[in-house]
Amino acid sequence: MQPSKRVKFGRSDLEVTPFAFGTAPIGNFARPIDEATSDGMIQTAWDAGVRYYDTAPMYGHGLSELRCGHSLRWKERDDFVLSTKVGRLLKPKKRSEIDFSPWSNAAANELVFDYSYDGTMRSFEDSLQRLSLERIDICFIHDIDVFTRGAEQPEVFRMAMDGAWKALSRLRDEGVVKAIGIGVNEWEVCYEALQQRDFDCFLLAGRYTLLEQESLDKFLPLCVERNAAVVIGGGFNSGILATGAIEGARYNYAAAPAEILDRVRKIELVCHEYNVPLPAAAMQFVTAHPAIPSFIAGTRTVEQLQKNLDWFSHEIPAAFWAELKKQGLLREDAPTPA
């Protein structure tokens, strides 16, 4: 697979690259990244032909959008696709009074959930100003899932369908954005949203990977039927599909349980047999599905980014995928790269 190939983004008239640059790390997730490294990664991605960049107000309390806009500001605007999110407003506040967790040395803004119509319009306008770019192409309603909102999720979902949906639908109708969707951690939430509203796309974190294919049951087939695009973030399941089954490996933001470690070890044996890096298999598997145009990868260094680009381009024989299915390590109905 080529990171710079242009592919159609669902039913919209947008074209994205299958390798997308994720900007959560440059919001200083967990630990700081300096300005030079942040800009260096975006320029390296650009030079490699990457033309889809995803950000959000949440990432670094606005820092990610500021950095993303800075690095893309003088690029020809029609040459790339940019997505951001709504659902949180940023309000300036003293650093000493802000809980930045899990961000480190983030921007001096407090995050406030707001899925109302007016809050969504405000969030969208604020993002445009932080980015200082002439437009946003794709906008996702962010974190209306159980993972983020817990017991409040049903009410938060309803509010978003009534408020944020109406605002984004109007922006789409007016041509201000080209595509609107949901960005969450659970495919079930995406499935419910697509049944209820006319969404163009989804950003799904970690729920369609080498280790998880339950979304093949209902959600992804509906996306194919409706020509809705699905972008996958967290395709390494928060770590283990990049590191392998090492001591301390992470799976879905926690220590990997024994059964996951065992499954990954079995996948790694097949990788070794066919000389396929595990991360290469993880990345290329995702974008083989007809509903999935892009894999969002976030990195902390230029070297790490270059590794991801190399893995994405690594040639994988068809026999590798066949062997995974033969051993029951991959669903028989899962599409694989041609």
> What is the per-residue burial (b if ≥16 Cβ within 10 Å, else e) of 231-240?
bbbbbbbbbb
Q: Vertex 89, ends 293 and 173: CA angle to 5°?
A: 50
Stated as kind and residue range, the H or E segment containing 282 is: helix 278-286
53 catalytic, yes or no?
no
CA nearest to 81, candidates 47, 46, 36, 48: 46
Distance CA 171, CA 180 (A): 9
Q: Determine whether 178 is an active site residue.
A: no
Strands of 11-117 (E only): list them: 15-16, 19-22, 52-54, 81-86, 88-92, 109-113
Q: Is 99 a catalytic residue?
A: no
Residue 169's region, left for phi above 0, alpha for psi from -120 to 50, else beta, is alpha
Could you tell me if 164 and 115 are in contact, meaning their C-beta atoms sit under 8 angstroms apart? Answer: yes
Instruction: Of 193, 23, 217, give the one whose Cα is nearest residue 103.
Output: 23
Q: Is 288 helix (H, G, I), strand (E, B) or coil?
A: coil
The one catalytic residue among 52, 53, 59, 251: 59
Q: Which of 52, 54, 126, 178 is catalytic?
A: 54
* Site of tokens 């978003």: 160
- Choice among 85, 114, 126, 143 that is catalytic: 85
| Cβ 66 vs Cβ 107: under 8 Å | yes
| Pairing assessment for the beta strands 201-205 and 229-233 based on DSSP bridges | parallel
Query: Would you name the residues annotated as active-site residues?
Result: 54, 59, 85
